[in-house]
Structure 1
Amino acid sequence: MKSYVSNWLAPLGLAFLLAACKPSGPEQAQLHLTGNTMGTYYSVKVVGADESRARELQDEIDRRLERVNDQMSTYREDSELSRFNRHGDDSPFPVSADFAKVVTASLQLGRQTGKALDVTVGPLVNLWGFGPDARPSRIPSEQQLAEVRARTGLQHLAVKVDAEGEYLSKTIPELYVDLSAIAKGFGTDVLSEYLAEEGFANYLVEIGGDLRVSGTNAQGQPWRIAVEKPGPGMGAVQQVIAVDNNAVATSGDYRNYYELDGKRLSHTMDPVTGKPISHQLASVTVVHPSCMIADGLATALTVMGTERALAFAEEHRLAIYLLTKTDEGFRVDMSSAFKKYLRG
């Protein structure tokens, strides 16, 4: 059987764009469109487009991102996702094709990664103090943990597609789905595919650090991406990469945490244990044709830890770059498939 993660055709520790060093010819016209979406920002660079198309492209970008938010935002009470989360029985709930596609990808990745990606862990995130609820004054008890874990699990979520449309169902009414680990990447893919439909071959799309590139930049050079160096500040370069016509997503574990009862608690939950991860893997960068898949994989590999993540990447021929905290700083590891993307 082919691997889903290696054959999909389509923040913290962020990747970001670097300017080219040497132009290979006359600089081409380029539009740079920016805005806000999904609680963060978007940035779209389109080579070969001039100002006469700026309004048209910006309006359509905003429209398509609004549609993604209307489908998958947990912050909009009338989004498809919010309405499904309130759906109180196991009857099929009709959803859009895009929503079904993202949930299907989430379930597939969850199964292939041994549940390292689980889009139903929201109640656990809240229990440990990383959601809207107040942070606990003490470590949750095993009883509390068991009660909350009973309301989570990918086995309680299903997607059905037939001639009439697409449907979601859940086997427990309390199941709460949060697609934040994958929806941002999906939005990046949506914009990339729109630009391709419009005939553009050279562009960079970014939503909150998730990127997808095609062709070359305005100087005729490959798009150069910097992987951020972990630390208290932002913008220090750890590694420069050029990823051809691919997407890049990075997940990290070195900013969003707090200490309780003498323990460092990460915002990243291990769905199997129901507890915050406790290993030293600080940053995972994934290169993949689909930003949606790269986004989901980055989260799953962060949960796995360094050794499991590397083994999984080699098995599935994935391009990943890992930074692991040690007493001497950060150790770099990468899969065989990642090495071809390295630049200076």
Structure 2
Amino acid sequence: MKKILLYCVNLAAFITLMGCDNHNQSPRDAALVLEGRTMGTFWRVSLAGVAPERKESLQNAIQTQLDADDKELSTWKSDSVLSRFNQYQGTEPQPISDNMADIVTLSLRIARKTDGAMDITVGPLVNLWGFGPNRQPVKTPTQGEIDAAKALTGYRHLWVTERGERAWMQKDLPSLYVDLSTMGEGFATDHLARLMEKEGIKSYLVSVGGAVLTRGQNASGQPWKVAIQKPTDKENAVQAVVDLQGHGISTSGSYRNYYELDGKRISHVIDPATGRPIQHRLVSATVIATTALEADGWDTGLMVLGEEKAKALALREKLAVYLIMKENDGFTSWMSPQFKAFIQQQ
């Protein structure tokens, strides 16, 4: 069995890139690696068979593309397209780009499939608990504050329509606040893949935050591999290794992004139904799908649902899903039949 060499960086603390080691290769034959920051996280692109001389131009093209995506989707920037929609306190249809229409349409479809567990209008609750642009609360929000924030949410208050050649987004609750952060990393990852294809590059691994997509083979002529990390604070603690086979992957987890408040651990994953951070024992949900965007949408909904409902949904929708649950002093895992086709022996 060949030894798998870990990549030197992990993404969003949940996924580690593997199988693209550059040791014993000449500079021209080694993978070309580019990286930077976007959307409050890191992006990384690994390319096989691409001349080092293209590094600067590709770096600039990638950053320009991601900056444009951020300007469209950010809730942190008041002048973004999405922020302007959120600032609009009316119910008339507002023009949006095709990109945003695609994201919102898919988000609403997944919202219906998860019975609202994945809800892109949950922003007021995310902000209330201190995981959005608002500061972390100094005390646990009261039930009254939670109820007031919940009254401002609900994916059924939002829809996308087409008029002529334009896409439009409309809300029947004027104060509705749309937050696409749960989908932004997957969307940006897919966008980078399209950029690589446009640049004539056929073998690449692109990632933004915890979303990854691959095509072709790495610089060693082997499949690109991705490791799902164990839910611990130890780097490179591998739970499972997958060969994406040209698919996208995304992981949502509750064990890294949290804070302590009033003696309790507060997770960034908010349940739209209760208005509170999740409390169940599911700590990580990984999804492999045709696109990184779709994987990014499903993993959040599964995390909110918890172990049993997530399993039932994965089986019903035939999703490639890998779940990790807290079990006493350790962890247990479960994978759907569709996920098994991607597992690699370590």
Is the TM value for this pair above 0.5? yes
1:114 aligns with 2:115: yes
| 2:19 and 2:223 in contact (8 A); partners too | no
Q: Which residue of 1 aligns with 2:302?
A: 301
Count how many residue pairs are aligned between Structure 1 and Structure 2. Answer: 333
For structure 2, the residue ranges without an aligned partner over 5 or more in a row are: 1-10
Residues 65 and 276 (structure 1), Cα distance of their counterparts in 2 relative to 1, 3 Å cut: same
Could you give the per-residue CA deviations for residues 74-101 of structure 1, whole angstroms, max 9, x where no partner exists?
Answer: 1221110011110111111111111111
1:18 matched to 2:18? The reply is yes
1:220 partnered with 2:221: yes
Give the counterpart letter for 1:150 in structure 2: A
Q: How does 1:152-171 map to 2 (within 5 A)?
A: 152-171=153-172
Aligned AA (1:327): N
1:249 alignment partner AA = S
Counterpart residue type for residue 319 of structure 1? A
2:104 corresponding residue in structure 1: 103
Matches within 5 A, 1:52-91: 52-91=53-92
How far off is 1:15 after superposition? 1.0
How far off its partner does 1:135 sit? 3.9
- 1:3 maps to none
1:297-324 CA distances to partner (integer Å, 9 max, x unpaired)? 1111100111111111111111111110
1:103-134 CA distances to partner (integer Å, 9 max, x unpaired)? 11111111111111111111112222333444
Task: Choose between structure 1 and 2 for higher RCO, CA contacts under 8 A separated by at least 6 residues.
Answer: 1
Q: How does 1:254-273 map to 2 (within 5 A)?
A: 254-273=255-274
Q: In 2, Cα distance between the equivalents of 1:132 and 1:44?
A: 28
1:92 aligns with 2:83: no
Does the CA contact (< 8 Å) of 1:12 and 1:254 recur in 2? no
Displacement after TM superposition at 1:174 (Å) = 1.3
Unaligned runs of 5+ in 1: 1-10
| In structure 1, C-alpha distance between the alignment counterparts of 2:191 and 2:134, rounded to whole Å | 32
Aligned to 1:181, the other structure's residue is in SS state: helix
Instruction: State the Cα deviation string for residues 21-56 of structure 1 (Å, max 9, x = none).
Output: 899x99945321111111111111111210232233
| Cα distance in structure 1, aligned partners of 2:132 and 2:40 | 15
1:288 — aligned with what? Answer: 289
Aligned ranges for residues 179-194 of structure 1 at < 5 Å?
Answer: 179-194=180-195
- Cα distance in 1, alignment partners of residues 336 and 321 from structure 2: 6
- Which position in structure 2 is the counterpart of 1:7? none
8 A contact 1:212–1:246 mirrored in 2: yes
- Aligned-residue offset at 1:73: 0.8
Q: Which amino acid aligns with 1:198?
A: E
Question: For the residues of structure 1 that align with 2:45 and 2:167, how far apart are their CA atoms?
Answer: 31
Does the aligned pair in 2 maintain the 1:15–1:248 contact within 8 Å? no
- Asked if the contact 1:191/1:205 (under 8 Å) is kept, the reply is yes
Structure 1: distance between partners of 2:255 and 2:317: 27
SS in 2 for 1:282: strand
Q: Distance in 1 between matches of 2:273 and 2:286?
A: 22
* Letter paired with 1:277: I
Distance change (3 Å), C-alpha of 1:22 and 1:197: closer
Contact persistence 1:230–1:254 (CA under 8 A): yes
In structure 2, distance between residues paired with 1:139 and 1:61: 41
> 1:201 aligned to 2:191?
no
The 1-side partners of 2:310 and 2:46 are apart by: 32
Deviation at 1:62, TM superposition (A): 1.6
Cα offset, 1:223, TM superposition: 0.7
- Contact 2:75 2:133 (8 Å CA) reproduced: no
Q: Say which SS state the counterpart of residue 17 (structure 1) adopts.
A: strand
Q: Measure, in 1, the Cα distance between the counterparts of 2:68 and 2:196.
A: 16
Distance in 1, Cα, partners of 2:285 & 2:179:
21
- 8 Å contact kept, 2:71–2:81: yes
**TM-score with structure 2 setting the length:** 0.90
Amino acid of the residue matched to residue 126 of structure 1?
A: N
Residue 12 of structure 1 and its aligned partner are, at CA, apart by 5.0
The answer to whether the Cα contact below 8 Å between 1:44 and 1:205 also exists between their aligned partners in 2 is: yes
Given that 2:12 and 2:209 are in contact with CA atoms closer than 8 Å, whether structure 1 keeps it comes out as no
Residues 22/122 of structure 1: CA separation in 2 closer, same or farther (3 Å cut): closer
Whether the 8 Å CA contact 1:14–1:210 is kept in 2: the answer is no
Which SS does the other structure have where 1:69 is aligned? helix
Residue identity opposite 2:195 in structure 1 = Y
**How far apart are the structure 1 equivalents of 2:131 and 2:204?**
35
Quote the offset at 1:288 in angstroms.
0.8
The root-mean-square deviation of aligned C-alpha atoms, in Å, is 2.2
What secondary structure sits across from 1:167 in the alignment? strand
Deviations 1:135-187 (A, max 9, x none): 44544333222211110111111111121411111112211111000011000
Residue pair 1:265, 1:276 contacting (<8 A) in 2 also? yes
Secondary structure at the aligned position of 2:274 is classed as: coil
